Amino acid sequence: MKLKFNLDYQTIFGEEIVLHIIDSTHDFLDAKHKMVTTDGHRWTAEVSHPGRSGRHIDYFYSVERDGMPVRTEWQVIPHRLQFTSTKAKTYVLYDHWNDLPEDSYLYSSAYTDCVTERELGVPKSTTFGVTALIRVRAPQLAGNQSLALCGSEEQMGAWDAGKALAMTEIAHNTWAVKLDISALLNKTIEFKFVTIDTERNYQWEEGENRTIALPDAENGTVIGYELPQAHFAMAPWRLAGTVVPIFSLRSHGSYGVGDFGDLKKMVDWMEATGQRGLQVLPINDTTITHTWTDSYPYNSISIYALHPMYADLRQLPALDDKERAAQFETLRNELNQLPQIDYERVNNAKMEYLRLLFAQEGEKVLKSADFKTFFKENKRWLAPYAAFCQFRDQYGTANFSQWPAHHSFTDEDRNNYEDPKSAEYKEVSFWYYVQYLLNRQMRDAHEYARSKHVVLKGDIPIGISRNSVDAWTEPHYFNLNGQAGAPPDAFSANGQNWGFPTYNWDAMLADGCKWWVNRFSKMQEFFDAYRIDHVLGFFRIWEIPIDAVHGLMGQFSPSLGMSRDEIQGYGLNFQEEFFTQPFISDWIIDRVFGPHANYVRDHFLQHSHDDIYRMKPEFDTQRKVEEAFEGKDSDDDIWIRDGLYALIGNVLFLRDRKDGSKFHPRISAQLGFTYEALYDNDKDAFNRLYNDYFYRRNNRFWYHEAMKKLPRLVEATRMLVCAEDLGMVPDCVPWVMNEEKILSLEIQSMPKDNTIRFGNLHNNPYRSVSTISTHDMSTLRQWWDEDYERTQDYYNSVMWKTGPAPHPLPGWLARDIVAQHLYSPPMLCLLSLQDWLSIDEEVRLPDPNAERINIPANPKHYWRYRMHLYIEDLLANKSLNRQIHDLIAQSNR
């Protein structure tokens, strides 16, 4: 069978179009074909193909120059051709180039699998002599609608919508129909598309009638026309939902922490209240020390493995040992009644239970067909994860650099751990068993959410633990001598140091970002939308030296450092030693340390000259100081330690870590002592340099950096892509997010326009997520009482209320604030559970300070917040549920 492809696409000299075929039969190996042209506009290619009846091919086009890709079509929904014309000998296809559409969200699984839920089909086989195959995209259709073609010819209904020719949805939002044109050759047909719902209501396509001038053709020819998108009006898709960590869920049967069974119960509450979105925090395994410090959900040891604490023991077989079962039940009741999570006791108990259950059921499960399928599909990550867990526990540390052996995971190791007959496999099979249970439960929760039309939204952390499976097995992807973090912001005056290794993007881009694509592909098994944590990291990451504690010592990577001449071009006399080494003088020591000044001089400093000092070598980095003060927590010790941190960070410029001849102004240097010591004209010069560097210099550079990475990741799955774009946001971020159709995050109390105090909700873009607070922030009720002057301004200028603002926040006012957010334009309005509950004074937690999930300024924060109500009680609370349901319905969400 011959396939003749035709594409009209204007190229420039030196560019060529390449056709890429993805064959469902897997027997068509030559999948890349260069097209030919005579005018640089009409491109053609002819391909031979088996064309087996009932099969299909997907294909897309790309532009190349000198064999290198320049641009590629949107591949999430490629062109599709199905072979259902039994007499076909030749397919002549007329396509058009598909860019990422403005309404790409309608092609996401969040919409197609959770909202419309239409089943894809295959057109009926036909025996026409000459066939016109018409394909069109129509993403605007509701779940109860289908598409039909109605037009001038009898077989098209002769303009009677009741007799319109039904079309088949062959791919998500892509419809096809075949016409017998054997008697219509050299004629022009006229038609429109029409929607038909289950009640037989019709809606005609807007605009002028479509026409196709049919050519002459031989019998056995199928002429395929891919037409521009159908024109139907559609109200914006807007949904409301809740954000809550799974560990924070509480049901009558949970084991002191939320689990995947509780997630299904939370979906029930979504349905009961008219909510259609449920966002959770990361769910990957974070077990490093087996202590409460592992509670930080963004510090995962594997980008694939799920955390064992989320196992719902209720879904597992009961223990045969009735005495032990009774003991576990007693402990469950105790842990489940605690106001907060006891992370260590919960995880110890669950792991013990799972080990007992594995001894009882493991052999049978590992022999099952379902487990074998799971293992085959996941063994590439499962084997190294299981080995890592074994060595972590065997050697008493997750820091693989300290292990006496197994410093890497070799191909031989992999073969052994993947072989069911090997001793290695048997040693770690418990971890295979646990991940099998977790995967099955989470996938079941995902399918349950879809069945209730609820979009599950996950969270992809920007980093991974430096003591992780990924850093152990694929160290070439990471810069282990750096630490990721964030510059100073509203959350932390010293910046944030997350401790994650930064990425070696050169290595990642070299293989097409395979590590990220695999990560996203695994995540789509559990979610239909996701939040990219700290999307700014794909433009540039805040990289902190390994010997630093504070985020203040970081610099953006990659970024364009400044040469000495550039710095001096601003009128600043660049004094390298003075500007790049800690400036420590008597007046600074006295001001910082007060009564401890002489003690500091004697123990931590060396006199240099005049009234100038330098740090002793044993204390000349923040990590050395941290180690020296380990276990010292008196107020005086903390005063001295933090003061020494400040001295070490008292520089005006940081040397570029790749090019020693380039420099970066230190973030927030204007608050330091070196800046204070400058003459006024030098301060003015530094301020001009500083503003140019942080807000203008790197914009184009960072745009191109992000465009190397984000398009690959956005197209890796059909999940709806959302991003956390808070913090020090360069101008290029919205450029890229708009180009890639990524939803932004909009928070009224943190407007992106720094000339206003509170954002105007109705100015928020449709392609965004609106919320009141995040897990890193105070909840609405906390925020309300933190700053009375700010609250008063909000009460008068935003809420348009007169008189003094009431304190604490009354439920009626919280309801008004929630309502304003629901009425705003964003596609998604996802509010924290705490903020939803704030509208009902009888339901909400009495102490608002007990609602806080995380304090970013504290890197050792204990993540243990748990909702104070049982989900069953939420489901039974008709008053609260009616309030929420009415708020959502009134806002048309």
For residue 856, what pLDDT is reported?
A: 87
- If you ran DSSP here, which 8-state letter would residue 538 be given? G
> Across the chain, what does the average pLDDT equal?
95
The first and second tokens of residue 168, run together, are: 């088949």
- Name 447's Cβ contacts closer than 8 Å, sequence gap at least 6: none
Categorize the per-residue pLDDT at 233 as very low, low, confident or very high, splitting at 50, 70 and 90.
very high
Categorize the per-residue pLDDT at 29 as very low, low, confident or very high, splitting at 50, 70 and 90.
very low
Q: Name the amino acid, one letter, at 779.
A: T
Q: Name the amino acid, one letter, at 516.
A: W
- What 3-state class would DSSP assign to 521? helix
Is the sign of the CA dihedral 863, 866, 867, 872 positive or negative? Answer: positive
The first and second tokens of residue 47, run together, are: 């391909």
Categorize the per-residue pLDDT at 30 as very low, low, confident or very high, splitting at 50, 70 and 90.
low
- What 3-state class would DSSP assign to 420? coil
Distance in angstroms (rounded) separating the CA atoms of residues 112 and 108: 6
For residue 745, what pLDDT is reported?
A: 98
- If you ran DSSP here, which 8-state letter would residue 694 be given? I
For residue 296, what pLDDT is reported?
A: 96
Q: Is 512 exposed, middle or buried (0-12, 13-18, 19+ CB in 10 A)?
A: exposed
DSSP-assigned letters across all residues of 548-584: --SGGG-EEES---B-HHHHHHTT----HHHHHS--E
Distance in angstroms (rounded) separating the CA atoms of residues 748 and 790: 13
- Provide mean pLDDT across the span 750-758: 93
Q: Name the amino acid, one letter, at 341.
A: I
Q: Where are the beta strands (DSSP E) in 361-454?
A: none
Distance in angstroms (rounded) separating the CA atoms of residues 694 and 460: 26
For residue 859, what pLDDT is reported?
A: 81
Distance in angstroms (rounded) separating the CA atoms of residues 473 and 334: 40
CA 725, 726, 727, 732: dihedral to nearest 10 degrees? Answer: 30
Contact predicate 428/386, CB 8 Å: yes
- If you ran DSSP here, which 8-state letter would residue 721 be given? E
Residue 830 predicted with pLDDT over 90? yes
Q: How far is CA 490 from the centre of its chain?
A: 22
Return left, alpha or beta for 599; rule: phi > 0 is left, psi -120 to 50 is alpha, else beta. alpha
Distance in angstroms (rounded) separating the CA atoms of residues 147 and 135: 11
Categorize the per-residue pLDDT at 407 as very low, low, confident or very high, splitting at 50, 70 and 90.
very high
Distance in angstroms (rounded) separating the CA atoms of residues 132 and 191: 13
Please report where in the chains the tokens 């282990």 appear, as a residue: 480
Residues 521-569: pLDDT tens digits? 999 999 999 999 999 999 999 999 999 999 999 999 999 999 999 999 9
- Provide mean pLDDT across the span 196-201: 94
Is the preceding peptide bond at 545 cis, omega within 30 degrees of 0?
no
Strands 455-460 and 529-532: parallel
Q: Name the amino acid, one letter, at 857.
A: A
Contact predicate 866/259, CB 8 Å: no
Residues 630-678: pLDDT tens digits? 999 999 999 999 999 999 999 999 999 999 999 999 999 999 999 999 9
Please report where in the chains the tokens 């009425």 appear, as a residue: 823
Residues 321-335: pLDDT tens digits? 999 999 999 999 999
Residue 25 predicted with pLDDT over 70? no
For residue 492, what pLDDT is reported?
A: 79
Distance in angstroms (rounded) separating the CA atoms of residues 803 and 795: 9
Residues 461-515: pLDDT tens digits? 999 999 999 999 999 999 999 999 989 876 678 888 998 999 999 999 999 999 9
* H or E stretch at 890: helix 878-890
For residue 360, what pLDDT is reported?
A: 98
SS3 content of the chain, % helix, strand, coil (to 5): 40, 20, 40
